[in-house]
Amino acid sequence: MAALTSAPALAQSPSSGGQASSDQTTFVQVGQLLAEPERGIVQRDKTLVIRGNQVVEIREGFVGEGRIVDLRDSFVLPGLIDSHVHLTSQQNPNGRLEEVTQSNAEQAFVGARYARRTLMAGFTTVADLGGSNESVFALRDAIRRGDVPGPRVIASGSAVSVHGGHGDINGYREDVMHILSPESVCSGVDDCMRAVRTQVRAGADIIKITATGGVLSNTAAGLAQQFSDEELGSIVAAGHRMGRQVTAHAHGADGINSFLRAGGDSIEHGTFLDDESIRLMRREGVWLVPTLLAGDFVARIASSPDNFFTPAQSAKALEVGPRMVDMARRAHEGGVRIAFGTDTGVSAHGDNAQEFALLVRAGLSPLEAIQAATAGAAQHLRITGEAGRIATGMPADLIAVSGDPLSDVTELERVRFVMKAGVIYRED
């Protein structure tokens, strides 16, 4: 598909440490270009001039000399953004055992494998929302330095969670749980402020909290609100004072609405949101990250003969999974802003783009689904100067597919070319 016509000595390659040579110019010739998805305009026969890690010009026609990438038969769009992943793990039958056998260093190496897989699937930016501080932040920083290939990572580290609730350690011996429980677990207003500040000190780019119970915590504690209103208020206020946006894992409507009234910035999942939730989200401009792929995955596992979930997990998976597409449909019809996010790590890394078809099933057009994974996600994560569009002065993050994803959004499951910050990582 993509023909690279240049001299053999190519400085830009994953093996070179992921750093584009600042004096090297690449001409990417593009047949169809969706440079700014928020505008929805497909341009034809363009050449992207890339110097170092930036787009420096978009020219009419097919031009260039020296290092030319031929994507004249392809559809090119910005690198995709997944607003909710867990790079350092993946659900599997041994998942509960891995929690107590893998070191933080091992998890970071596992994360390096999954980060590369995510990048090769066309996702050049992700938000990692939940994992051990040491492993997640080390992985983020290694990718940033160019030590390992992967998407740009915005990381929360450990979620701020209530003792015994979703995000805490559950279902093991008491002494094991005491050792593994993260510092970000808290109870009471003052302790919850401490947990937020501890996460910021550890290196969190964003604060993720678990406002309600969750499907995969091994406890029959339900899916409703777990923090008190006062605790939620203290968490949001502490995060904002420290210059961090605060996003909430939230299924039950009571937890969703309490978090929104506390001034929270975005909702992850949103399974049982109600009319009040939609009204509050519209009024405050809050983003919803629906994670439909996670719902689809857990429902399939829980109902299969090879189900490896515990009874508590299975019951919640069968309650939540089938509801999520309808939830996203109601939110979309209600005018809620939607950012693309998958909760990958629940489902398999590299399958992230399967979320697009589920969003379309929920009523989004293919263009709206693409906007959610580009300009919308960039706005949600406050990185509009770094990702979400192809424009002069922006990092050269772009992907290519053979067909037209505006006609068939599943084309994005078959990405064949990936460039991140001027470096070519995939070229089928």
Could you report the per-residue pLDDT of 56-91, keeping only the tens digit for each?
A: 999 999 999 989 999 999 999 999 999 999 999 998
Provide the pLDDT confidence category of residue 181 given band limits of 50, 70 and 90.
low
Could you report the per-residue pLDDT of 217-240, keeping only the tens digit for each?
A: 666 667 899 999 999 999 999 999
Q: What's the pTM?
A: 0.91
Neighbours of 283 (CB within 10 A): 9
Structure tokens at 279: 């009204």
Could you report the per-residue pLDDT of 133-156, keeping only the tens digit for each?
A: 999 999 999 999 999 999 999 999
Residue 1 is predicted with a pLDDT of: 47
Domains of the chain with bracketed CATH? 3-79+389-427 (2.30.40.10), 80-381 (3.20.20.140)
Which of 402, 422, 423 is closest to 411 using CA atoms? 402
The mean pLDDT of the chain is 91
Provide the pLDDT confidence category of residue 426 given band limits of 50, 70 and 90.
very high
Rounded to 5°, the CA angle 342-247-197 comes to 130
